[in-house]
Amino acid sequence: MRDTPLPEMQLDPKPADTDILEAERDKHRKRAERFGTDFVEPGQRSDLKAASKKERLQKPGFTTGINLFSQEEAQKRQGRAARFGEAPTTLSYEPIQPIEDMDQLKARAERFNMEFKAPDLTGLATEDLLEQRRLPGREVDRRPTAIHVYGVDLMSTAECLSYFGEWGPTFCEWINDSSCNVTFQDEDSAKRAMVSKSQPLPPEDPAMLAGLEVSDIGNLPYLWHKGQPFLKPIGKQQRSIPLLLRMATAEDVKPTSGPHQTRRLWVSNGKGSQGTQKRRQRPDAEGQGSGVTQHRGGRGKRRRKLRMPLADGSTQPVMGGQGLEDADMMDVDDAMDAPWNEHETLAERQATPDYGMSGGMRSDKIMALQQQAMAQQMLQIQPDMQRELVTYGDVLDGP
């Protein structure tokens, strides 16, 4: 029996992102007609940008349309099975059973003066995860059309969607390196996916989840579920990735402020940035290196040759020790990667006009970026170059 009544679950109390975007478009159209200006797509606000991207890239999915866990549907399945002489097909919602002899384990640990560690039912105890798992309270509004997935540090967007591929997921909302929300067309599809891919876990905080019956599917929105492991292909082998699932809440959103940390473990077969090539330093006059290891690629300090502008518009390199300077530069490969979202798929990159069908930045876009960077560099060094030339001329002419 439940000690305290559960709060009524709130189903998407806020308007959908597409509704907000459409209302904003309508306002922009009316304003353009009123002042006789061109209509501009409302893409400046970050929330509307996210809604526009979601509207453009989300997959169609499909709608289940019926609640397969209702009493009425269960009776229909039983009647159909009896009519054809078959066993009734049911979606089982059986919790993971806790270890029964927990008290014995605690007593043994006390007897031998050992620290007692509760058995790990989640399968994540040995996993290297960047972000901590968060359990929202019962008072937080739930999103019945979205599943929150934790433990996805090594998974890409396409892999998160393929994990629920049989139930028609529509979009993947990234929160941080370790967690994301996978959305569905309707709440019945999300519930089917949750029950088919996972088992409910016993409450970790009895005070917060007092009175919850784990085997009652009505409590699904308030419990963590142990998901079936995802098999990630790495070379010719597969790595088993344990996952935890629960219903997403209104608080499961990507932070918009503060520092953003990431290890990019979903690239280079889980190595992240560890696959970058190292550049050795030349030894100094005493035969010792500088002790600093530079990595090829990415932003960093490089030695740049200065060039002197001539009267005919051409340039020539500056000779001597003053002809080099430290500069922040970026490789072309990193210029191609820089604007991308780290979890975007190839299809998402192709939808951006700056990129080609292979997912790489168009050559004309790269050339334009390089020319723009060179022009900015020349504007910075030209006054210094002219000042040095004047001084050199004074020395040659004499007093």
- Looking at the fold, whether 174 and 268 belong to one and the same domain comes out as yes
Output the six-digit token pair for 140: 């937080």
- Which residues have a Cβ under 8 Å from the Cβ of 151 and sit 6 or more positions away? 124, 127, 129, 178, 179, 241, 242, 243, 244
Residues 75 and 148 in one domain: no
Structure tokens at 333: 């490969």
Q: CATH number for the domain including 195?
A: 3.30.70.330
At which of 208, 238, 272 does a domain end?
272
- Residues 268, 164 share a domain: yes
Q: Give yes or no: residues 67 and 147 share one domain.
A: no
**Residue 112 within any structural domain of the chain:** no
Q: Which of 221, 237, 272 is the last residue of a domain?
A: 272
Based on the number of CB atoms within 10 Å of its own CB, is 73 exposed (0-12), middle (13-18) or buried (19 or more)? Answer: middle
The answer to whether residue 338 is domain-embedded is yes
Residues 353, 393 share a domain: yes
**Residue 101 located in a structural domain:** no
Asked if residue 383 and residue 320 are part of one domain, the reply reads yes
Residue 132 located in a structural domain: no
Q: How many domains does the chain have?
A: 3
Q: 157 with 268, same domain?
A: yes
pLDDT for 53-95, tens place per residue? Answer: 655 555 555 565 566 656 666 666 666 666 766 665 566 667 7
Give the domain range for residue 75: 17-84
- Judge if 247 and 309 occupy the same domain: no
Please give the pLDDT value at position 264: 75
Q: Tell me if 284 is assigned to some domain.
A: no
Q: Are residues 66 and 152 in the same domain?
A: no
If 0-12 CB within 10 Å is exposed, 13-18 middle and 19+ buried, where does residue 82 land? exposed
pLDDT, mean of each 10-residue run, the chain (399 residues): 48 55 80 80 59 57 58 63 64 65 68 69 80 87 94 91 90 91 90 90 71 79 91 88 94 80 70 49 50 43 58 65 48 40 53 53 66 71 54 47
Same domain membership, residue 233 and residue 184: yes
pLDDT digits (tens, 9 = 90+) for 262-308: 777 766 555 565 544 444 444 555 555 444 444 444 444 445 556 66
In this structure, are 164 and 249 located in the same domain? Answer: yes
| Residue 233 and residue 353 in one domain | no
